[in-house]
Amino acid sequence: MGNKVITIGREYGCGGRLVAKKLAEKLGFAYYDSDLISLAAEKTGMTESYVKEIEQKKVSNFLYSLFLPGQTLTLPDQVFIAQAEVIRAAAAKESCVFVGRCADYILKDFDNCVNLFLHAPLETRITRVCEEYKEIGRDQAEAYIARKDKERASYYNYFSTNIWGNYKNYDLCIDCRIGIDATVGLIGKFLELRFPEQ
C-alpha cells in the first residue's frame, strides 16, 4: 500500500508536538519537526540559525520580501521550497509524521496522507505554556499564545491556498484537553478505520 504519512497542524500550547512525537513512536514512523530546519539549511546553503530566523519572521515583512541581488525568489520562498522538497522526499522514502510547515498542503496529492489539526481551550494552553513549557508568566500568556498562533496562521495562509485551522482542510480535528495519551489513542483508532487493511 505504500508509505503512510500523518501531518499535524496545531494551535500553540495544545501539546501537538508531544502528541506527534508519541504517535510516531507508537506507530514506528519517522518524526519530522524542527529537524526540517537543518535539512532545509543544507539544501539552501544557509546556516540553521538563519533559516530559523527567516522561518519565524512574519512572511509579509518588507525586509524579508526584498530580493537579493541575482535572486529570483525571496528568502522565505527559498526556505519554503527547500523544506517542501525535504518533506516530499521523506514521505516518498518512509512512513512519517510531520509537524507543521504546511506539510498537509505540500503533500496534498500524496496517497495515504492523513491530515490532523489539534487544538485546545485557551486555559488548557495557558497552563501548558506556563507550567510545562515554562516559557512565560500567566499574566502575559494569553497575548503570547495569540501571537504564536498568528505567526503560524500567517505562514500557512501565505504559502498555501488553504486557511490555517479550517476544519475542511483536515481529516480529523481533535480537542487535546482530553490529554496527550488520550489524543494519541484517538488518532490510533482513527487510523485503524482509515487503513482497515493494516
Instruction: List pLDDT tens digits, range 63-73.
Output: 444 445 555 77
pLDDT-based confidence at 180, cuts 50/70/90?
Answer: very high
Task: List the grid coordinates of 136.
Answer: 512565560
- Mean pLDDT calculated for residue range 17-21: 96
- How many residues can be counted in the chain? 198
36 Cβ contact list (under 8 Å, min separation 6): 83, 86, 87, 98, 101
pTM of the predicted protein model = 0.87
For residue 54, what pLDDT is reported? 67
Whole-number Å distance between alpha carbons of 3 and 25: 16
- Mean pLDDT calculated for residue range 94-111: 95
For residue 189, what pLDDT is reported? 97
pLDDT-based confidence at 49, cuts 50/70/90?
Answer: confident
pLDDT at 47 over 90: no
Strand 113-119 and strand 96-99: pairing? unpaired
Q: What is the dihedral of CA 4, 175, 149, 147, to 10 degrees?
A: -150
For residue 31, what pLDDT is reported? 95
Task: List the grid coordinates of 78.
Answer: 527559498
Report yes or no: 13 and 133 within 8 Å, Cβ to Cβ. yes
Whole-number Å distance between alpha carbons of 51 and 47: 6
